[in-house]
Chains A and B, each alone.
Chain A
Amino acid sequence: MSSIDRRQFIKITAGSFGAAALASGLVSDWWGATASAGITPDTDGDNVVPTFCELCFWKCGVLAHVKNGRVTKIVGNPKHPLSRGRLCPRGTGGTGLLYDPDRLQKPLVRVSKRGEQRFEPVSWDAALNRVAEGMERIRKAHGPEALALFYHGFGGSWFKRLFKSFGSPNIAAPSYAQCRGPREVGFELTYGQGVGSPEPVDIENTRCLTLIGSHLGENTHNTQVQDMARAIERGADLVVVDPRFSIAAGKAKYWLPIKPGTDIALLLAWMNVIISEQRYDADFVAKHTVGFDKLKAHVADKTPEWAYPLTGIAPQLIRESGRFIASQRPASLVHPGRRATWYGDDAQRSRAVAILSALLGSWGRRGGYLLPTSMEVPGDKYPKSARKPHRPRADRLPGKHPLAGAALASGLCDATVTAKPYPIKGWMVYGTNLMQALPDPRHTRAAIEKLDLLVAIDVLPAEIVGWADVVLPEATYLERTDDLHVPAYKEPYVALRQQVVPPMYESKPGWWIAKQLGERLGLGAQFNYQSSEDVVRRRAAAAKIDFAALARDGVVLGKRVPACRDDGLPAPSFDTPSKKVELYSDQLAKLGFHPMPEPSSPEEPPQGMFRLLTGRAPMHTFGRTTNNRQLGELMSENEVWINRAAARALPGFEDPPLRTGDKVVLVNQDGIKSTPIKARVTERIRGDCVYMVHGFGHSARGLRFARGRGACDSDLVTRVKVDPLMGGTGMNVNFVRIAKAEVRS
């Protein structure tokens, strides 16, 4: 064509006649077609507002198209470094959240027994008064520490301010002890710093991407998926360790269908190959690490042959894949994963990943781990509250998980049940469905029974909302301005979450709710803003960022600084006790833990049972999106994956054998039964485990779309293996048998 000729032509027509002319026939003449609504959908907005997404926690920049006050579509913001104009399905599906007919519309108070989900609407004033009075009553009787905040999501910052000012240290996000925590600890112990989010991994430039239990592609952290595709385009190879033939495994040079729970053995065997064959980065190891000789001795007998019976991976495959991983160093990236709470040995497994990465010399190198910085944007200044906590966090128990780097949501739940070390009598729950986020909802219910006050602040009536005494309906991310997002990233930037349309119904933004509560609790001084826009404006001003540009583009880029040695970053420094990368950890030895990762031997599934594994689907962020009708069109229920040969051998399914689409129930080792779920009989998984996507099987009455679709894995997680280092709850330690779903009479 030459696209240039064509574009110029379009520019001329569009310029002369404008968008209206295009819609009213000119374009159709150009095609020789009749004008028709079917062909010109007209979803472009009159107004396009940049903000960032909250369907997951990656925070991609989006452009929201608004027409006649309605958001018609959401597309990627080309200027935003995390989206680069492209989105995963959830990003597009943001309108499905905004216009979800099941949204919480008015403040509610409970009118019958807790958990019966019976509420009556009240005024905001009445609801806020009730919450403030309840909090004060608990504070007077038990101290401010008797109130705990659980949160997930970017809007949580306003409630953290509230709780800190109130004098409670009990502020926890399940994203630590139920998700990323072990990984942070493993890397902190080794390099003196955690991984954080977005992970500073240079997938785009890697030559070899090793994924261990991480199913990137099904787990659609947008930028990482983009980078993985770019790496594939450039000829990079994947090594995928997963009991399941994931999408990434389908693209891999080497797929290692490992026996669940034996990853540390595999990692040690890889180290054995790489050290014994002198394939490691001797220069990096000599200059920057301590404990190499001890590590060498530690892995000397951990050969691929040794690992074979543990992992089920043939020695030749371990050896070849290990050699390949080393052959591509330093641009050989062993991905740290994200949800790492699997078997209770998770911080040690993350340490093994960190140690292997050190042997590859990929820390601070292009195609490996980057060392990015963030723009300098001072935090918001507000007068510090005079109220200070008098007791430490309730999840901190003497001698238990000494390396926990943040509050454990599960620990606060435990403390609520036991009233030890002190009673917790009130919960505020912001944007996290604790009934699915925490293991074993029965335990969470036992905690709720101890409470004098449970406040839920949310957009949708998830299960936890049904247990609340007071429900405060929050505006969605498209209806509110939040704080600034200033991440450490290879391309430093500041992004603005700004209101696209006014809040629907009687919903209110979190900053307003927190301020209203603060004022009622005598903490007005700590909420020294009229609106969140004051906060973002003054932070931007303090950082000398042009707020008008930020509001216009949704993002302001900072100066690019080298994030790896290849780009001129000076030699790295390490904030560990030895100031080196600790292959051998004295810290761990002193605390009585293994100073170097030891293989753990997972329990065998009892006869006739399968280990229950869970994961993600690209169109859902667990239970947060399963009520979204748009995303539900792409996936409306989860299935349980079972190996074909194992399905044929299932007792009770001899004739006819279990087939894909048949409904079954899962019964765990403690006799807990799931709701009916469809089977997927497949070659894509080992025979000793089953797999399902997390976040389905809702029971909340108000989730009219998601309710009763698929099964809830959290229900079946009646056991956890707690990581002794940091308190993460390993959840892949439950077993299920497969039973026929009872046919309704």
Chain B
Amino acid sequence: MSAILRKRKKRYAMAMDMRKCVGCNACVLACKAENDVPEGGFRCWVEIEIRGAFPDLKQRIVSSRCMHCADAPCVSNCPTGASFYSEGGAVQVDPDKCTGCKACIAACPYGARFVRPEGYVDKCTFCMHRVAKGKDPACVEVCPTESLVFGDLGDPESSLAKLLARRQHETLKPEQGTEPHLFFLS
């Protein structure tokens, strides 16, 4: 079994369906409850953008979080090695190594990180503690609109890979060249 896993490159990613999302913030609170995120801190958030003028309007709703970039500026800019790629390419912060210097916060194009009251930097972990138990991240599990899909891009048979093959998608700020792994379905 482990031999099979070693052969293939696991790549965790998430898709977010802007067509279905209603921006209710269930993901935001479920993340906070699951991960015991302190007051004032958010690992994920919702943005609602409106373009146009009354009555010709377009709406775009995004549930956002760390993009778990393949070429993550937070990792390359971390002076202590606290920010690192864990299994499947998910970007993590090791609180024991983090000094709270905020170099990563300055480097992240997505505003995904914040400092906890304890002094270290926090962000979305893709709920690796849940994934390790075969569960979806808390935001995915709670979402009433099933707008969030988590999975392994390295596995072409995963529902995520199939979904991305089928649906048009985009990433945020692709010009930054960070190879984000949060895909927005339009």
Binding site for B on A (CB under 8 A): 1-3, 5-11, 14, 22, 27, 30-34, 36-43, 72-76, 85-89, 91-93, 95, 216-218, 220, 222, 225-226, 228-230, 232-233, 245, 247-251, 255, 257, 618-619, 629-631, 633-634, 643-645, 682-687
Which of A91, A229, A645, A684 sits near B147, CB closer than 8 Å?
A: A229
Residues of A within 8 A of B122 (CB): 38
The reply to whether the CB of B173 lies closer than 8 angstroms to some CB of chain A is: no
> Contacts of A93 on B, CB cut-off 8 Å?
29
Assess the B55–A618 pair: CB atoms within 8 A: no
Would B10 and A618 count as touching, CB distance under 8 A?
no
Contact A87 B26 (CB under 8 A): yes
Residues of B14-36 whose CB lies within 8 A of A: 17, 19-26, 28-30, 32-36
Which one of B17, B39, B61 contacts A247 once the chains associate, using CB atoms below 8 Å?
Answer: B61
CB distance from A571 to the nearest CB of B (A): 35
Chain A residues within an 8 Å CB radius of B120: 38
Checking A2, A95, A217 against B22 with a beta-carbon cut-off of 8 angstroms, the contacting residue is A217
Residue in chain B with minimal CB distance to A222: B144
Q: Is B170 an interface residue (CB 8 A)?
A: no
Q: Which residues of A contact B40 (CB under 8 A)?
A: 633
Q: Decide if A89 touches B28 in the complex (CB within 8 Å).
A: yes
How many B residues touch the partner, as a band?
35 or more
Contact B84 A33 (CB under 8 A): yes
Name which of A1, A8, A75 has the most chain B CB atoms within 10 A of its CB. A1
* A contact residues around B61 at 8 Å (CB): 247, 250
Is A33 in contact with B86, judged by CB distance below 8 angstroms? yes
Q: Which listed residue, B24, B92, B125, touches A225 by the CB 8 Å rule?
A: B24
23 A-B contacts, Cβ less than 8 Å apart?
A1-B158, A3-B155, A6-B134, A22-B133, A27-B129, A31-B132, A36-B94, A36-B95, A38-B95, A39-B125, A72-B36, A86-B26, A217-B23, A220-B24, A220-B26, A232-B20, A233-B17, A245-B50, A255-B55, A618-B26, A630-B33, A644-B53, A683-B50
Q: Are A30 and B24 in contact (CB under 8 A)?
A: no
What are the 9 tightest A-B residue pairs by CB atom distance, in nearest-first order? A250-B59, A217-B22, A229-B145, A618-B24, A1-B152, A38-B95, A1-B155, A229-B20, A73-B33
Look across to chain B and name the residue whose beta carbon is closest to the beta carbon of A60: B144
B35 / chain A contacts, CB cutoff of 8 Å = 41, 43
B23 touches A39 (CB 8 A): no
Structural contact, B132 and A92, CB atoms closer than 8 A? no
- Given A226-B144, A257-B55, A629-B39, the answer on whether A36 and B96 have CB atoms closer than 8 Å is yes
B5 within 8 A of A: yes
State which residues 30-55 of B face A: CB under 8 Å: 30, 32-36, 39-40, 48, 50, 52-55
A320 nearest CB across to chain B (Å): 15
- Say yes or no for B165: interface residue by CB 8 A criterion: no
Once bound together, how far apart are the Cα atoms of A7 and B130, in whole Å? 11
How far apart are the CA atoms of A132 and B74 in the complex, in Å? Answer: 66
Residue of A nearest to B19 (CB): A232
**B133 — which chain A residues lie within 8 A by C-beta?**
10, 14, 22
Known: A9-B1, A630-B32. A30 touches B87 (CB 8 A): yes
What chain A residues lie within 8 Å of B57 (beta carbons)?
245, 250, 255, 683-684
With a cutoff of 8 Å between Cβ atoms, the chain A residues found around residue B172 in the complex are none
Q: B154 interface residue, CB < 8 Å from A? A: yes
The answer, among B33, B144, B145, for a CB contact under 8 Å with A43, is B33
Interface hub of B29, B54, B57 (most chain A Cβ within 10 A): B29
A633→B28 CA distance, assembly (Å): 10
